[in-house]
Amino acid sequence: MGMQGDFFQLLKEQGYQFGAPATAGSDLEMPNATTILAFKYRDGVLVAGDRRATAGNMVMYDRTDKVLEIDRHSVMAIAGVPATAYEMVRVLEHSFKYYRRTQLQELSFEGKLRAVSKLLKENVAAALAGTGAVAPIFAGYDFEQESAKIYFYDILGAEFEGVEYAVSGSGSPTIRGILHYLNTWGEQPLSALSEEQSTVQALRLLTSAAEFDSATGGVNREANLYPVIKFITAGGVRTMPDAQLKPLFEAKVVRHV
């Protein structure tokens, strides 16, 4: 990302500070967003997250959106401190727009990856202080490679490609094991699943995570509360509406005894 189109560098020159660790009240429990996942399906990438935010053993909020659209072809799913992650998404969103308007072209997928890693590295002090740890998943469509891709990060900004899938957050150990099993010994690999089949698997995975991790919020049918599920293809980012999740959950996830 050239300096001429670097919005974040422009912000810093104007005195903006990202990722400064809190000095007061650092012993307080920080809210945390919990479980996110992404995997490649037949048409692109599915990205999903539960809705719960916790602070220690307290449920802070059950309607958190952890899968955030940055531009028409990329999303960031957040696990960690929501305030830091939301600020990160806002900076990235404006950075991508600024590059497009100043350079008269879209920022490349590689450039987007560098921007995410750069922000996470700026946030290291806050992450180590325990006041701003974020371990996100970034997914988007790479037009140069003509494929949807998944990348995940640790709290220090190290970048890893999820060739088939990626998970993060407190419920991720449960989900990682199930994803490995499904992808290795399932009737078909994840990448062969249709949109409906992949949606059902995402609902089952997050329901399983909620069963074994108290910080992960499951489906609340009475409150009409379902996970956030988005799809990324060459056509852009699309959100699966709750009206479509509800019948799929009732038919394919709920155990009828």
Average pLDDT over residues 197-216: 95
pLDDT band at residue 22 under the 50/70/90 scheme: low
**Using CA atoms, how far apart are residues 86 and 37, in angstroms rounded to an integer?**
18
Report the pLDDT value the prediction gives residue 139, as an integer from 0 to 100: 98
The closest alpha carbon to 103, from 12, 9, 6, 13, belongs to 6
**Using CA atoms, how far apart are residues 95 and 185, in angstroms rounded to an integer?**
42
Domain range list for the chain: 32-252
Residue type, 246: K
User: Which of 34, 35, 64, 174 is an active site residue?
Assistant: 34
Residue type, 174: T
pTM: 0.91
Q: Does the 32-252 domain belong in CATH 3.60.20.10? A: yes
pLDDT in tens, 61-91: 788 899 999 999 999 999 988 889 999 999 9
pLDDT band at residue 194 under the 50/70/90 scheme: very high
Dig out the tokens for 88 from the structure.
């990160």
From the CB of residue 257, how many other CB atoms can be counted at a distance below 10 Å?
3
Q: What percent of the chain shows pLDDT beyond 90? A: 72
Q: What is the mean pLDDT of the chain?
A: 91
The closest alpha carbon to 141, from 240, 232, 230, belongs to 232
Report the pLDDT value the prediction gives residue 2, as an integer from 0 to 100: 44
pLDDT band at residue 23 under the 50/70/90 scheme: low
34 is catalytic: yes
Report the pLDDT value the prediction gives residue 233, as an integer from 0 to 100: 98
